[in-house]
């Protein structure tokens, strides 16, 4: 366990990009492999690092918060306004088409009316210490409680531990969805 007073949650900066990408990869490995058409972890992390460093795309540092403990980033959460999803995803699809010669058109994950939590990843050495919960509670406080917004996310149906956490935090099921061949459940929280 860690002393909570030394962990901070803050907006990511471009300088955090190399540390953020592996945490995003933890949560979306299969999806990135489908994007690039091969199971190549180095290529997948490089793709994510490329976009985390850039502005105005769904994985940009601009759309991330990090949990930092004693100066080291130990977790990252990626989220954005669902109304901007199509524009934020477009640079990624174009890059994949050009650099991986692959037309990719995954399903729409979110829509206007929710801030969408795309990805949450915690350093494996720190998992089980409530860091993911703290990041989610931070977003709930800022976007739901203070701003009256809706937060949404997709959870794999075969990931009951994650679903249990989200339900415990107040998320409710609003439907089912397929995302790159996986059955997902759409959860939301709002006032």
Query: Tell me: the pLDDT tens digits for 106-124?
Result: 899 999 999 999 999 999 9
Give the SS3 label for residue 181: coil
**Separation of alpha carbons 13 and 95, rounded Å:** 22
Indicate the range of 27-41, 77-91, 106-120 predicted with least confidence: 27-41
Within 10 angstroms of residue 161's Cβ, the number of other Cβ atoms is 8
- Residue 2's pLDDT band, with cuts at 50, 70 and 90, is very low
Superfamily of domain 4-189 in CATH is Gcn5-related N-acetyltransferase (GNAT) (3.40.630.30)
Indicate the range of 36-50, 79-93, 97-111 predicted with least confidence: 97-111
Region 27-43 average pLDDT: 92
The radius of gyration of the chain from alpha carbons, rounded to an integer in Å, stands at 16
Region 142-167 average pLDDT: 96
Give the SS3 label for residue 177: strand
């Amino acid at each position: 366990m860690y002393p909570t007073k030394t962990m901070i949650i803050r907006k990511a900066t471009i300088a955090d990009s190399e540390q953020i990408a592996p945490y995003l990869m933890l949560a979306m490995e299969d999806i990135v492999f489908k994007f690039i058409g091969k199971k190549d972890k180095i290529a997948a992390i490089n793709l994510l690092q490329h976009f985390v460093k850039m502005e105005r795309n769904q994985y940009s540092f601009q759309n991330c918060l990090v949990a930092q403990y004693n100066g080291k980033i130990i977790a990252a959460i990626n989220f954005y306004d669902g109304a901007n999803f199509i524009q934020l995803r477009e640079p990624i699809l174009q890059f994949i088409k050009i650099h991986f010669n692959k037309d990719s058109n995954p399903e729409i994950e979110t829509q206007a009316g929710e801030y969408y939590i795309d990805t949450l990843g915690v350093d494996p050495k720190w998992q089980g210490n409530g860091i993911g919960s703290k990041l989610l509670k931070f977003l709930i406080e800022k976007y739901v409680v203070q701003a009256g917004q809706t937060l949404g996310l997709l959870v794999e149906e075969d990931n009951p531990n994650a679903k249990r956490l989200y339900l415990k935090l107040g998320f409710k099921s609003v439907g089912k969805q397929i995302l790159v061949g996986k059955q997902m459940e759409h959860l939301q929280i709002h006032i």
